[in-house]
Chain A
Amino acid sequence: MKEFMMIFVGTPYEELGLSPEQMQARMGKWFAWSNKMESQGIAHRGEALHDAVKRISGPDRVVGDGPFVESKELVGGYYIVKAESVDDVVEIAQGFPDYDLGSSVEIREIMVFDQ
């Protein structure tokens, strides 16, 4: 088994101005996706991220306040999942609920160093 990171990229919910009922529907989809993974035995964990960004850069260690990208490109959170191959994760990612909001999923394999 390998580990993969699914990175969720898209406009923060705050900017979308969802109504209470839309929030409800959105939530239901996320719970369903999460439940589906659980029932398939796909272990997943992760975190959600706030929108505000601090970026420190350059030899002078300049500190800036972000977001530094367009809001539709903000990383909102990630899952780490276990799977046999990247194709399996692509399959899992079909269930990501926010494609209709213009969001996307990026999949990266977590590197393991063999000594």
Chain B
Amino acid sequence: MSDEPLVEHLFRHQFGKMVSVLTRIFGLSNLEMIEDAVQDTFVNALTKWRIQAPDDPEAWLMQAAKNRMVDLFRKTKAENKHTEQLYYSPGAHHLNELFLDHEIEDAQLRMIFVACHPALKPEEQIAFALRSIAGFNIKEIAVGLLLPEETVKKRLQRARKKVVDQGIEFAVPSGADLLPRFNRVMDVIYLIFNEGFQSTHQAQIIKKDLCGEALRLCQLLLKRDEMRSSKLYALFALLCFHSSRLDTKISQEGELIDLEHQDRTQWFWPLIKLGNEAMNKAMESDELSTYHFEAAIAGEHIKARTFAETDWNQIAHWYACLLEWHDHDIYRLNLAYVHIQQGNFANAERLLLQIPPKNLADRQYLLFGTWAELHKAKGDRQKANASLKEAIEAVTNDVERRYLEGKLRG
């Protein structure tokens, strides 16, 4: 028996791999059957391994999936010409070859592009990607996205139905279709990351896993020559910079710690280094994206050894660029915060007044919180408290509510 610790997230990652490979063989129309089959394989493995642990759990599972595939093939071949061709046609891949590492990665890449097909709504794309590529089950997705399980289930069903009804190909699109879809893939990765990073709640481990999955998907794309673009490197840099701070955002008691009070010595340097390398690559061409500016801002925070040493002028500059590039109220809100740090209260107020609260949807509390910062910085404690109360009224999760309540008391 092996003394090695069980590979981290073995089952989850293996789920994504197996589902992708089997989908390549059996087609997207059999996705549900494939997911059930992989689930069965896991349950069997788990039962078997209680008695005798395998030397190489990953290889064991892959072998079990192959065997399972042959079973499925026997069951479905009568009705499914697709598999028959794959099995018998002389030009077809030998089935074993589809289980080689690079072919598995290829299958996973196809799955990401399927998930981001424009026929699927953005929220369906995220649920589909988390299920079929990242291997989260319905319960985990529900916890990760703060949604009822029933909602997740419906989204997945709708997504699967669209994939089948519209005959979406299990392939990376080519020609003119590639770029818009690739952009959407990056957006979905970004959104998955944000779900993990921005909102905080009790199920911290799942949240961290969302961030980890976003990083992993990004790396999967970066492995491919034809996918490596300036924008992708910038996105990767951004995710690395943010991830490096992940462990310092929440205290051991589960309380939120803001940037000012995070223990900067605990930021994770290997990720910062990776981020810096990616950022250098991102700057090699003239192509720019919002990710470039967001990464530059995240990088600027990382660079400051203390909160007081933060180069707010540089950050204000990046936010101004970002707003010019893509007018969005969240950027405007952040710029207002930067102006408060710089003491430019008039500018901050002007920006905040431009933001209609309803534009921020469930992030409205951030606007009220920033108003509170502004009033406090100007020495108006009464108005600051009134804004804080508005923020507490609007906030949706407990950790952030406690953080705001702490501010109200302190």
Contact = CB atoms under 8 A, between A and B. Distances in A.
Tell me, yes or no, whether A binds B.
yes
Interface of A: 8, 12-14, 18-21, 23-24, 26-28, 30-31, 34-35, 38, 46-48, 76-79
Nearest to B2: A31
Interface in B1-60: 1, 3, 5-6, 9-12, 15, 40, 42-43, 46-53, 57
A70 B403 CA distance: 48
Contact of B46 (A21, A23, A47, A78): A23
Interface stretch (B136-144, B155-163, B257-265): B136-144
A33 B3 CA distance: 12
Contacts of A23: 11, 42, 46
B136 A30 contact: no
Contact of B137 (A19, A38, A47): A19
B11 A48 contact: no
Contacts of B137: 19-20
B135 interface: yes
A6 to B, nearest CB: 11
A29 B15 CA distance: 20
Given A30-B53, A35-B3, A48-B52, 7 more contacts: A18-B43, A18-B46, A20-B42, A21-B12, A48-B48, A76-B47, A76-B50
A79 B51 contact: yes
Contact of B43 (A14, A38, A47): A14
B interface SS class: helix
20 contacts: A12-B47, A18-B43, A19-B136, A19-B137, A20-B12, A20-B137, A21-B12, A23-B11, A23-B42, A24-B9, A27-B10, A28-B5, A31-B1, A31-B49, A31-B53, A34-B53, A46-B52, A48-B52, A76-B50, A78-B51
Nearest to B143: A19
A47 B51 contact: yes
B51 A46 contact: yes
A31 B52 CA distance: 9
Given A14-B43, A34-B1, A21 B11 contact: yes
A48 B135 CA distance: 26
Nearest to A98: B50
Nearest to B14: A20
Interface of B: 1, 3, 5-6, 9-12, 15, 40, 42-43, 46-53, 57, 135-137, 139-140, 205, 209
A13 B49 CA distance: 12
B51 to A, nearest CB: 4
Contacts of B5: 28
Nearest to B48: A48
B48 to A, nearest CB: 5
B50 A77 contact: yes
Given A27-B46, A35-B1, A21 B51 contact: no
A31 B297 CA distance: 45
Contacts of B47: 12-13, 48, 76-77
Contacts of B40: 14
Given A20-B11, A20-B135, A27 B49 contact: yes
B46 A26 contact: yes
A98 to B, nearest CB: 8
Contacts of A35: 1, 3
A9 B51 CA distance: 14
A12 B50 CA distance: 12
Given A14-B43, A31-B6, A38-B1, A21 B50 contact: no
Given A19-B140, A38-B1, A24 B6 contact: yes
A24 B12 contact: yes
What 8 pairs across the A-B complex have the smallest Cβ distances?
A: A20-B11, A20-B12, A46-B51, A14-B43, A19-B137, A23-B11, A48-B47, A48-B51
A18 B40 CA distance: 11
A48 B40 CA distance: 15
